[in-house]
Chain A
Amino acid sequence: MTAPISFRSIYAIGKRELRSFFISPVAYIIITGFIFISSYFFTAYVSSTNQADLSGTVNNIAIVLFLILPFLTMKLLSEEKKSGTFELLQTSPVTPLDIVLGKYFSALLLYGLMLFFTAGFPIYLEIKADPYWPVIAVQYLGLFLTGSAIIGIGLAASAFTENQIVSGIIGFSISFGLLLISWLGTQTTGLVKAVIDELTIINHLDPFVNGVIAVKDIIYFLLWIVFSVFLSSKAVESQSWRS
């Protein structure tokens, strides 16, 4: 089963998925909710600090991502299993990796669109004051990577069940857990603390929020993405393992 990936298949699967997001109300509800909540945080932060700075808003948006992205990813593979369309994918000449990457990129693209709609925030700052754009770019990169990792985790969760609710709860629990363990890090010492601190997702976003790009943090997010995609494709492939 060592076939090269087919960009055409990935494109076809991703395009269909993206379309289905917009045919159902899911995409509209998620995008609207996201814009609404993040605008609220932006307004609150800017009006209270009176600074041409996005860092507070970025931190808040990151929390919103943990709550909202699992709704986007919970159906990715589980819905196909439930409705039987998985049988079509499985019997088509595509590899498990093609299927998984198509799904992943569709959700990633939708997330990119969500971030795009927040471009109004820095533009507003530019009109009213003089923000430092390189930092803003780094902050957006951090947000994008955080979201990419959460989407990966959600995708993997949806690969293991045909129940969307279960998939959503698992995806949410794991990614939110990676946020919550930061508290554990403050309660422990030594090696345990070091490991927990490294695992905590927000610790790797912080440098981006401060305008710093570190290879270590990029690798952290990439590892989650690669691991999730790998795990998902193995879950899909496991259907065709001899038992």
Chain B
Amino acid sequence: MVKVENLIKNYGTVPALKGISFNVKQGEIIGLLGPNGAGKTTTMRILSGFMPASSGTAEINGLEIHENPLAAKKMIGYLPENPPLYTEMRVKDYLVFTAELKGVERKKIPGRLDYVLESAGLKDRRNYIIGKLSKGYRQRVGIAMALINDPALMILDEPTIGLDPNQIIEIRSLIKNLAGSRTIILSTHILPEVSQTCQRVIIIAQGQIAAQDTHEGLQKLASGKTRIILKTQGRQNDACSLVMRIPGVNDAVIKNDYIEITADSGVTITPEIARILVNSAIDIIELKTEIATLEEIFHKITLEEKL
């Protein structure tokens, strides 16, 4: 669906993108994650056809955006970081205008208008003047705009920035509902957003891809080891020595009321632990694989990149 190859972008002598390549399959929700100034917006602006790359290609359904801008742009719904709204217009007038601009067939416009007003939760705001709407509602108008031409690919740049927590939750669930057969690329510097919304994460740092994987894959990548927490009903020392015998376990340390087990990642070890302990009549209170937070991963990956 989206094929990005070796994108390079220089602003004057300042390199913003130093060769970014990635693919996105149809129907995927991809999160572009990275600190401010990493190159997320630049990547999205190139993908949306707002500006060209210095070199490299970006294809949408086989059409290179710079070579076939008109045909490619018809397939895209792009919401820039600051929603491009004409604040003096009414919501419905603005959406009809954007539909015309994006070449939606005249007879399909009323249907699309109703659909996007419904999807973006704007039905009761259709006659409002955009300038009088709250930030959250303006963001909805922006999303409705990006959706009006029924795009195969939606590109959303920081769709939840500057919203209050309730609005963020609403917009996130809105984005999830939009997915389906649509491909969505969204950028954010808020980590939980990615784990809650996206199926795959591309971490960009300093104009390069630092890592790209599923959320789970990134967690493995970050640690290299799996950490398992085990709580037992007493007999901690027995438990420790039993666990240490299991192949793949590197270490088992007693910490206050639990045992911390370090094991090679990629091996599912918890069933084995449970079996051994139960056979030895040690009662298990808790046994869980600890998942590193995306925050830890992000910090680790972007930091390694700098060193």
Binding site for B on A (CB under 8 A): 1, 3, 6, 8-9, 11-13, 15-16, 19-20, 23-24, 83-95, 239-243
Q: Are A93 and B50 in contact (CB under 8 A)?
A: no
Describe A's contact surface by its main secondary structure: helix
A95-B51 in contact given A8-B100, A87-B80 (Cβ < 8 Å): no
**What 7 new A-B contacts, CB under 8 Å, besides A12-B97, A93-B103?**
A15-B97, A89-B101, A91-B49, A93-B71, A93-B73, A239-B51, A243-B10
In the assembly, what is the distance between CA of A238 and CA of B182, in Å?
31
Q: Are B84 and A84 in contact (CB under 8 A)?
A: yes
In the assembly, what is the distance between CA of A44 and CA of B2, in Å?
68
| Most chain A CB neighbours (cut-off 10 Å) among B66, B69, B71, B98 | B69
Nearest neighbor of A23 in chain B, beta-carbon distance: B88
In the assembly, what is the distance between CA of A9 and CA of B97, in Å?
10
Q: Does B54 contact A (CB under 8 A)?
A: yes
Nearest neighbor of B129 in chain A, beta-carbon distance: A23
Contact residue range for chain B?
A: 20 to 34
Interchain Cβ contacts under 8 Å between A and B, 30 examples: A8-B100, A9-B101, A9-B103, A12-B97, A13-B101, A16-B86, A16-B89, A19-B89, A23-B88, A24-B88, A83-B86, A86-B84, A87-B50, A88-B84, A89-B101, A90-B49, A90-B50, A92-B73, A93-B69, A93-B74, A93-B102, A93-B103, A94-B101, A239-B50, A240-B49, A240-B51, A240-B52, A242-B54, A242-B66, A243-B54
Q: Are A88 and B88 in contact (CB under 8 A)?
A: no
Q: Does B85 contact A (CB under 8 A)?
A: yes
In the assembly, what is the distance between CA of A20 and CA of B88, in Å?
7
Q: Does B76 contact A (CB under 8 A)?
A: yes
Contacts of B73 in A (CB 8 A): 91-93
In the assembly, what is the distance between CA of A239 and CA of B52, in Å?
8
- List residues of B (31-87) whose CB comes within 8 Å of A's CBs: 48-55, 66, 69-71, 73-74, 76, 78, 80, 82-87
A93-B70 in contact given A16-B86, A241-B52 (Cβ < 8 Å): yes
- List residues of B (241-270) whose CB comes within 8 Å of A's CBs: none
Q: Does B294 contact A (CB under 8 A)?
A: no
| Most chain B CB neighbours (cut-off 10 Å) among A6, A16, A86, A241 | A16
Nearest neighbor of A80 in chain B, beta-carbon distance: B84
